[in-house]
Homo-oligomer: A and B are copies of this chain.
């Protein structure tokens, strides 16, 4: 197995964009090519595109070769689109990682893209119902907001998590979003403002929810030999796990306030890397709703089960706390263009490790970061680990 590094990263402004999905791909492509000035595009041999539902939102499938044309790449080794709904982007990174690690590819490009805001917003929004089991959850209109609202209700019931603690997640991530020029939302908010915003599904209000967003993000992955030629600051991909534990159909799930799949995924990753949660400096986690981040603190082992609310209240997940969680602003500030989100998380890692973020959200002396993506009704959890050190060098246990 070969070491694999991210040698370049580029992103578009996320938001409600006038741009088409093709414009977004080219904008992210230009950004990443600008980021790796020594790269000859002809050396890119592989391309993996993460996109969730272009078939619905832009009436387009077979997107990977179309992205190749848009970016002027002649793919000679591995090409595919990956789809696992909200985690389609991280899935693309994982596939490219495997291709380079195995030696089938030397330089692989990853593009995550989603264009969700269209002229037909009823159609766009109702297409989100396809993420659930269509004949069960879909037919009953059981989409993400009511599901995560039930998770919140159960967590509040079981562990005494408060409405204010939920809001504090948005307050933190809005603060970091205010220092991220690519984020959809760049205004700080107060606990009161979160709670007073429009009700979506009790207890979750508008500001507890991530948005319907357009955006794209691109990476260049390379073998160690190529990475050395292309950059002085490679960011190494040192591990990756996924876990499906829950049934996909919600009425077959277990206790909603325990995300067993995430707990198992985290355990597997920590075993793979021989690390403990304390060794993690930065965690980009999937805060599609405020309650999600609270469960993620717990299942990732940053705090004990049930103490996620206390963890944010004590400020432990701020930069300078026990672990910096979502210093890039998370999904709550950046918005959530499904296929781009997992790639944006990796982009944030690269910018952090290189020290190319504003000081207000910079995690000093960071060596190890993880990115957690979830998909669907939190049935499926995906984690990747990134580091300034190669896997063969890495000794994270301190």
Most B C-beta atoms less than 10 A away, residue of A131, A244, A249? A244
Q: Which of A61-91 contact B (CB under 8 A)?
A: 61-66, 68-69, 73-85, 91
The answer to whether A85 and B102 touch across the interface, beta carbons within 8 angstroms, is no
Which of these binds chain B: A183-191, A319-327, A344-352, A372-380?
A372-380
Which of these binds chain B: A50-58, A158-166, A197-205, A390-398?
A50-58
The answer to whether B102 and A98 touch across the interface, beta carbons within 8 angstroms, is yes
**Measured CA separation A135–B59 after assembly (Å):** 10
**Measured CA separation A132–B133 after assembly (Å):** 28
Task: Kindly list chain B residues whose C-beta atoms are within 8 Å of the C-beta of A129.
Answer: 59
**Measured CA separation A286–B115 after assembly (Å):** 32
Complex copy number for this chain: 2
Given known pairs A98-B104, A244-B74, the reply for A60 and B130 (CB within 8 Å) is yes
Task: Kindly list chain B residues whose C-beta atoms are within 8 Å of the C-beta of A140.
Answer: none
**Measured CA separation A133–B98 after assembly (Å):** 29
Task: Kindly list chain B residues whose C-beta atoms are within 8 Å of the C-beta of A91.
Answer: 80
Q: How far is the CB of A73 from chain B (nearest CB, A)?
A: 8
Given known pairs A58-B134, A134-B60, A376-B62, the reply for A84 and B81 (CB within 8 Å) is yes
Indicate whether A264 reaches chain B with its CB closer than 8 angstroms: yes
Task: Kindly list chain B residues whose C-beta atoms are within 8 Å of the C-beta of A130.
Answer: 55, 59-62
Q: Which of A340-398 contact B (CB under 8 A)?
A: 375-376, 379-380
A 291-308 binary contact with B (CB < 8 Å = 1; else 0): 000000000000000000
The answer to whether A76 and B264 touch across the interface, beta carbons within 8 angstroms, is yes
Q: Lowest 8 CB-CB distances: which A-B pairs, in order? A: A62-B85, A55-B55, A69-B248, A98-B98, A75-B244, A81-B83, A61-B130, A80-B91
Q: Which residues of A are interface residues toward B (Cβ below 8 A)?
A: 1, 22, 52-53, 55-56, 58-66, 68-69, 73-85, 91, 94-95, 98-99, 101-104, 127, 129-135, 138, 240-245, 247-249, 252, 264, 268, 375-376, 379-380
